[in-house]
Every structure is written in C-alpha cells, then in structure tokens.
Structure 1
C-alpha cells in the first residue's frame, strides 16, 4: 500500500484495533433534512465526542460539519447520489470526483452501487473508474454495495450479501460496506470471501439498543471490521453516549452487557 494511502487509512481505521466506527451523514440528499442531521456542525460535534473514527458526507456539507477546535475526525466524501423522489431511486449517479474530495480535505472517498438495478452496468462502470482514480491519488475507497432490483427477493440473503462484498473487492475497493446477514455463521462466510475489510450497514432503525449492539458484536466476532451506521446513531436520543457504548464493543472488545451498563436505563 502506498504510504499516502496508509496514512489516510489510519485516519479512518483505529491503527491499534484495525477496526472502525463510521457515521454516514449523506441522508440529506436521498431523503432530506431528517431528524438528527438538521444542524450538521452540532451533529458532527456529538459524533466526535462519542469517539467515532470518521464521518461520511456529501461535498456541499463538508464546510457545515467542520469544527475549528476539539478532537479531529476522519472525513469520507461520498461521490454518488440519488433521491427518494426519483422514479429510479436505486440508480446512483456520480456527483463528485476524487480530485474534488482531495481539495475538500478528504481522508477517503465512497460510492454506492445497487446490484440488480436496471442501471447496474453504469454504476459498476463508475465504480471501476473511481477505484482507478482513488488508487492513483493514494486515496482509500469505500464501496457501499447492496442488492436492490427486480430480481432481488431478499437483499439480506447471505449468498447475495457475499456476492455484493466480493464485487466491491474485485473491482478495487479498499473497504466494503454491506448489510449484516442476521447471524454470525453466515456473515463469517461473507467476510471469508472478501480479501478487504468488511463493515456493516445499519439499515432501518432497530427496535432496541440491545438489538443494535448485538448486531455489532456478532459482526465483529464473525470477522467484520466495524460499522458504517447513520440513523441508528444520529437519531438516537443520546448519540454521544451510544457511540461511547459502541466504542467499548468495537475498540475495547467489550460485551453487549458491558455496553448496556454504560448506557444505563434503556432496553
């Protein structure tokens, strides 16, 4: 790995644990200014104080999330987008380049591909182009790969998720983000078939905090390298406290019960 990419990668991953806690804040493009991301600077401050390793956002809100003091945090600039208002919301389009992300101070870039969509071929072409550009600049690249389209019956099917992870790795991503498959054994197979770090997505907000923390603990035990989770964190009643509990699990290798004790009175 190029030394520049190594240095940037260590701004995203904890160099001692080899794991990461990423909080995506790119939802404003897809669904609007939902609860938790109305004031980006306040949101980022809470995420930093909770101990996350990186935030992920679109280029236009990078200045809104920048804080001139306090602990630093890794910055991942997201390069693709679509909106829930579109008749084709799963068709992601490139809206930023690696070079723009560099000028914004990014430590990594990311892009989103939905396998099975009618526009899959274009998204894969974009992914290949971005991984090439990112490699040229020594920029770590995270690929969010989901299965969403007419032929997809269950996007959490272990074989489907394993296919998603493998596509990201084979097309040059340094990190792959996929849904959790629901159990440790099947997710271990996903990680075993992917030669780069795999992190889990959060998906819809979970019913309980314990359910969320258990998903994280189980994914790590299966070989995952962390999480890239938005709504389950920034829409929590106390994101800072929740992130401290997540940190206990991800970077201190703590148990779900220990994390729940830290959180106090919640299920």
Structure 2
C-alpha cells in the first residue's frame, strides 16, 4: 500500500465521490535519489578506499547508565575522532549533548532501539526513535538492535523490516546489530548462530551488519561468506589485554571482516585516541597486531 503522504487521490468523474490512489510522480524521482543518498552517506562511515570502518558505539547510557568513559560525551567523542574513528554511534543524546563544534569531523550513527538493564527483559529492544528524527539531527546512518532467538524476536524482526524500508525511502544507511541471544542459543559466539543472525540482517535490508566474533578466523570466514553486506565485529565486554583485542581485529579483517564497532574497549581504554589509531592501522592500513601494538602515537 502506498503511504498517503506519498500519493495523490484522483476523482473518478464516472463515479461521484469515488477516488483512486495513484503514485505521486515525485516517488519516481525519489527512488534513484535515495540510492545516491545512501552511497554518499556510506562514504562518511566507511573508508572510501578500504570500504572498512572503525565505529565507536556510545549507546550504553540507556542500557547501563553513565559508565566510565561516557560521563563527558564531547571529550570522549573528541578523543576517538582525533584517533581517526570513522563514526560514533549513540542515541539522540549523542548529538544533542555531545556535539562539539570543534575538532576533527567524525561520522554520526543514531541508534533507534533501546532497553534498560532494569527492565523485565533487557533482550527485548523497542524502537524509540524514527529515521526522520535521526536525519533531523544530522545522522549519516542509523542502527537497530535485534536479538535473534529472543522471546520477542518476531517484534524486533518486524521493526527491522520497517526501518529498512524507511531507510531506503530516505536514502540513509542502516547498521543492524544482530546478536544470537535466547533460550535456543547455546553459545552467543557459536558460528551456526552468528552466521544465521548476520544473514537475517542482510536479508531484511541492512547495509552493514554488526555481530559477534566467533573466536577463530576460520569460523568467522563462514559468517562473512554467508552475509551479503559488510560485517563488523562487536567488542563486547572490555577485554583483558590490548594484545588480544588487536589480534582479534587482525584475524577478523584477514578473512573479510569490514572492521570493528567497539565501545567499552575503546572509551574505557587508558588512551582511547592511541587505541583507535592502532585499530585504524589494522583495519585500513593492513598492520599486523604486533605492528599496531608497537605504535606510540
């Protein structure tokens, strides 16, 4: 069905009071324009040469509150931007309270779904922001969170489909955070579960999928091969050593991963700017984990 705000009603003179909905000709122009819009915006969150990305999620304020590293949002944004991050990701509060007006530019991804750790089911993500609202605050892309296998999976998949259609209409890229979580999921990092979650994201219209790393390059290769769009790995809980983190990134990129979306591992690091530079060296310049670890500035 054509949305009423994108249609005309033409009176049929043969039937008094009757009307027929037809396409507004502006839609014909809108479709190719939306593709151009997506392409332009994707270049703001993906490197033009490598087609990879280093994203720093900062959406934790709703799920767990003002944790270390997210108390002073503008300062944290400035640190990761200075390190060369391609984009930061967060809820509407990120541009509203974190816009600096100075420093190095960085892409903006607005997260549309949320739940808090105090809710009856933190795995149940609901839409709290519209695509149009994200565009109004200058978003280069939007993101949505889906827990595949959760009790409310059907509702989250429905939301993903709706948001994907809206993104196509408005010409803005969609990042789908696809995680296997639920009663039937034996391991959130198991390759069978992760590759299903990633594939669902690409099937329902995501332009980039964020999901768990499966532990080895051999298994993660299956995830990348099974997904039709770029796959970036999540950082999850803060890792014990920087060396382990860098090696994971190196392994993921080596088998076709499109980069990383790390939050706490970056903004809770001793030197977030330097860590982002190291990650960018691996993702965009082909550094090994050992070479990146030795970087001092």
User: Normalization by structure 1: what TM-score?
Assistant: 0.97
Counterpart pick for 1:80 among 113, 118, 124: 113
1:166 matched to which residue of 2?
A: 199
> How far apart, CA to CA, are the structure 2 residues paired with 1:146 and 1:246?
23
CA distance in 1, matches of 2:135, 2:291: 39
How big is each residue's C-alpha offset from its partner over 1:155-200, in whole Å with a ceiling of 9 and x where there is no partner? 1000100001000000010000010000001000100011100000
Answer whether contact 1:131 1:171 (CA < 8 A) is retained. yes
Q: How many residues align?
A: 264
Look up the SS of the partner of 2:101 in the other structure.
coil
After TM superposition, give the deviation of residue 243 of structure 1 in Å.
0.7
Structure 2 unaligned runs (5+)? 1-33
8 Å contact 1:57–1:78 — kept in the other structure? Answer: yes
Whether contact under 8 Å (1:245, 1:263) holds in the other structure is: no
Aligned to 1:246: 279
Q: For residue 24 of structure 2, what is the aligned residue in structure 1?
A: none
Query: Rg bigger for which structure?
Result: 2
- Residue by residue over 1:132-169, the C-alpha shift from the partner in whole angstroms, topping out at 9 and shown as x without a partner, is 00011110000000011111110100010000100000
Q: Deviations over 1:13-58 (max 9, x none)?
A: 0001110000000001000000001010001000100110000010
Superposed counterparts of 1:85-234, under 5 Å:
85-234=118-267
- Give distance in 1, aligned partners of 2:284 and 2:258: 10
The alpha carbon displacement at 1:238 in A equals 0.5
Secondary structure of the structure 2 residue equivalent to 1:247? helix
Tell me how far 1:61 sits from its aligned partner.
2.8
Q: Is the 8 A contact 1:79 1:97 kept in 2?
A: yes
Match of 1:69 among 76, 80, 102: 102
Contact 2:250 2:289 in 1 (8 A): yes
Q: SS where residue 189 of structure 2 aligns? A: coil
Please state whether the residue corresponding to 1:257 is helix, strand or coil.
helix
Runs (4+) of structure 1 exceeding 4 A deviation are none
Q: Counterparts of 2:258 and 2:185 in 1: how far apart (Å)?
A: 26
What residue number does 2:93 align with?
A: 60
Give the aligned partner of residue 295 of structure 2: 262
Partner residue, 1:45: 78
The whole-number CA distance in structure 1 between the counterparts of 2:149 and 2:121 is 13
2:78/2:104 contact within 8 Å kept: no
Distance 2:50 2:255 in 1: 15
- Secondary structure at 2:54's aligned position in 1? strand
Instruction: Determine the C-alpha separation between the residues in 1 that align with 2:293 and 2:153.
Output: 41
CA distance in 2, matches of 1:61, 1:193: 33
**Structure 2-normalised TM-score?**
0.87
After TM superposition, give the deviation of residue 260 of structure 1 in Å. 1.0
**Deviation for aligned residue 1:263:** 4.2
SS at match of 2:109: strand
Structure 1 CA distance, aligned partners of 2:294 and 2:193?
Answer: 36
